[in-house]
Amino acid sequence: MAELPAPAQITNLASLLAPGLIISTIRLRAITGSVPDFKDRIFSYGLISTAYFAAATPLFHVDRGVELPGWIWSFLQYFALPVLIGIAAAYVYQHRLSYRLAEKANLHLAHHLPASWDYAFEGLPESSFLLVTLQDGTQVAGRWAKGSFASSSPSERDLLIHEMWQVGSGDEAWTPLNPRRSILICNKDVRFVEFIGANHVE
């Protein structure tokens, strides 16, 4: 029978994975798309922590510089710096800085999103309108207002439209339904989705 790890070993392992966990968790909050499963996340934590310690450890072993208590150095190394790196990684992701740099360097990076569903809804402005055609041919219209949501789960691509609108006939403008209402559409009911700019319906 395998022996259980000692508490000190568990603590050391947690300390080694902590930077990767912190950086990945903050970055994942900014990412659109399906979240990796637990096994893949643990592997990712290990890789990120390894890279982090390889780059950051020399900074915390400089003989000269500011003298601080050991616990403050540990706090900076295992928590504060990973938090800052996680925030920076989230910023780089949301502002597409890696793609911009790649374009300037004449490189073509594969897109991080595996599905066109996630790509279509990622960063969709609130001025956009949707026209959803259901499996039975019924059409549902609405504005992508604050509070709308498109699921990133590969198994459940449901859609929440926070503001339902009435489609005008001919050249008539679209109008919001009164009273105001939202609608949740299950993925099995969606046939296709049309995206319409606000200037096309005003």
User: For position 96, what pLDDT does the model report?
Assistant: 75
User: For position 159, what pLDDT does the model report?
Assistant: 94
- pLDDT tens-place values along the chain, 202 residues long: 456 566 666 677 777 888 998 998 888 777 765 566 767 778 888 899 999 999 988 888 777 767 778 788 889 999 999 999 999 988 887 777 877 887 888 887 776 777 788 888 887 888 899 999 999 999 999 999 999 999 877 778 899 999 999 987 766 778 899 999 999 999 899 999 999 874 444 4
User: For position 170, what pLDDT does the model report?
Assistant: 65
What is the side-by-side order of every strand in the sheet holding 175-176?
175-176, 163-166, 139-143, 129-134, 190-196
- What is the rounded CA–CA span in Å between residue 28 and residue 115? 17
Q: Indicate the pTM of the whole model.
A: 0.63
Scored b (16 or more CB within 10 A) or e, 24-48 reads bebbbeebbbeeeeeeebeebbeeb
**Which of 198, 126, 118 is CA-nearest to residue 159?**
118
**Which domains are assigned to the chain?**
7-104 (no CATH), 116-200 (2.30.30)
